[in-house]
Amino acid sequence: MTLRLAGKAAIITGAGSGIGRAAALLFAREGARLVLGDKTDAVHDTAAAVQAAGGTATALQVDAGVEADVERLVAQALAGFGRLDVAFANAGVSGGMAGIFDATPELWSEVLRVNLVGPWLMIKHAGQAMVQAGRGGAIVCTASVAGLRSGAGGPAYSASKAGVINLVQVAAQQLCESGVRVNALCPGLTETGMTRPTFDYAKDKGVTHKLGRLNPLRRAAQPEELANVALFLASDEASYVNGQAIVVDGGLSSSHPVTRQLPGQTAV
């Protein structure tokens, strides 16, 4: 069976845990050579796990919202592998749940810097490298269901992820005829480093069964489930998917809030 990323070089940010780590292991298994970035030293553990499984990975501790750091990631891929085919701009911060009246400009600036400026920087530098190489490529940016409508995150986080969705649409248009595709991945509630406090709280209270109960699948997602969709978007299987926000949320965003019941039951 042909590996879906055979011969390709990929960058993944936010690779220290969660979706980024799951994507690193999966992309490597599918043949990609990796440059992994994360703000924490856990990125080295991810690279070691990839290498232990027989893959190729270089780890850099970077801030995904700093232009020089994003340039370092791209330069490392080009120097180490001679090419760059895939960029997964996955790094993000939650910013907490501070409301419109409670949040500070500093909080908003930081959330937007990492969650929105970061993906733009990846599109800018990875996209330019791909265009110059003339082989096309795939850029995937992690957005969120919180970027679709209210109710899934704090104001700053939600606004930043809405920006990511619009960003990939604009970028897909501006990279017209280059063969570089730009798409967004919109996770619902997923067990990651960013959501760990929510999951730890539920475990401590013995209410893990309530996590994800608002979506039709009645559960939260695991990072591997999001990584599988990121892999699809990164691969040639998604060769005609461009400028899209792919939602992976167990069906949460498929409906407005309603009282649900099985067929034949009466709503109360």
Examine the residue annotation and report whether 157 is marked as an active-site residue of this protein. yes
Which residue in 85, 92, 47 sits closest to 187, CA to CA? 92
> Of these residues, 157, 162, 175, 182, which one is catalytic?
157
Residue 28: exposure state from Cβ atoms within 10 A (0-12, 13-18, ≥19): buried
What would the two tokens of residue 140 be?
Answer: 């995937």
Angle, in degrees to the nearest 10, between helices 67-81 and 118-133: 30
How far is 226 from 253, CA to CA, in rounded Å? Answer: 16
- CA distances from residue 170 to 31, 37, 163 in whole angstroms, order as listed: 30, 25, 10
What would the two tokens of residue 262 be?
Answer: 């099985």
Residues acting as catalytic residues: 157
